[in-house]
Amino acid sequence: MAELNLEILNTDSNPTFAAYRMGKLCSSIIDITVCSASLINKIKNWRVDETFSTLLNHKPILYVLNLENSVPQKTITSMRKFDTRKANWAVFKQELTTELSSNQVNKEIIGKIKTTQDLDIMIDKYTQCISSACTKAIPLITKQAKKVAAIWCTRELKLKKEEIIRIRRRIRNAHPKRRNCVIDLNLKAREEYI
């Protein structure tokens, strides 16, 4: 998690999963919520909702995401460096072969590795060879301009759209006996949206 710059939000010891197995209640904290380090201070009141009943054994997790008055931070959200869709794979293969032979990375030498230090050195060499070949054969990802939302697209409208999408997903996943109830909810939400 630390390598990906992610933080775990689970704060209490309430179980997120509960099911009866052979007449005995089994529960655990199997579901975790993670977020990027840039959002950790904007998420408050993380909790497991004990009151909401679902057909699933997993309990809903609720939290408040405060985006008001937030100052956008420039953080790297992806570890991707190269645009692999535009790669020249023939050049990559040729460059990788050249790099591996010039750095003496081959099956015979790898087979002779006896210690973890030698293994770490070989892994570093191999990684450098791949990185060098990528630099020569694959263009870097270019940053795209951020899309500006339409003036008429308000926060309230976005929330209603998200609610419609969530309800559609609930219809798709609803038990056949509950489907009509969920469809009625969808129709009410759609009327508010339109």
Nearest to 61 by CA among 52, 45, 44, 49: 49
End-to-end CA distance of the chain: 41
Phi/psi-derived region of residue 97, left when phi > 0, alpha when psi is between -120 and 50, beta in every other case: alpha
Q: What is the pLDDT of residues 29-49, one digit of tens each?
A: 888 888 887 788 888 888 888
Number of domains forming the structure of the chain = 3
Distances (CA, A) of 139 to 66, 76, 80, 81, 99: 37, 18, 12, 9, 18
Q: Is the pLDDT of residue 112 over 70?
A: yes
Around Cβ 48, how many Cβ atoms within 10 Å? 21
State which of 41, 67, 93 marks the end of a domain: 67
Domain assignment present for residue 129? The answer is yes
Domain assignment present for residue 79? The answer is no
Nearest to 7 by CA among 106, 101, 75: 75
DSSP string, 154-187: -HHHHHHHHHHHHHHHHHHHS-TTTHHHHHHHHH
Cβ atoms of 88 and 43 within 8 Å: the answer is: no
Domain assignment present for residue 41? The answer is yes
Residue-level pLDDT at 155: 80
Residue 179 is part of which domain span? 150-194
Q: Are residues 130 and 171 in the same domain?
A: no
Instruction: Give 64's pLDDT tier (boundaries 50, 70, 90).
Output: confident
Q: Are residues 102 and 53 in the same domain?
A: no
Give the percent of the chain with pLDDT over 70: 84
Instruction: Give 149's pLDDT tier (boundaries 50, 70, 90).
Output: low
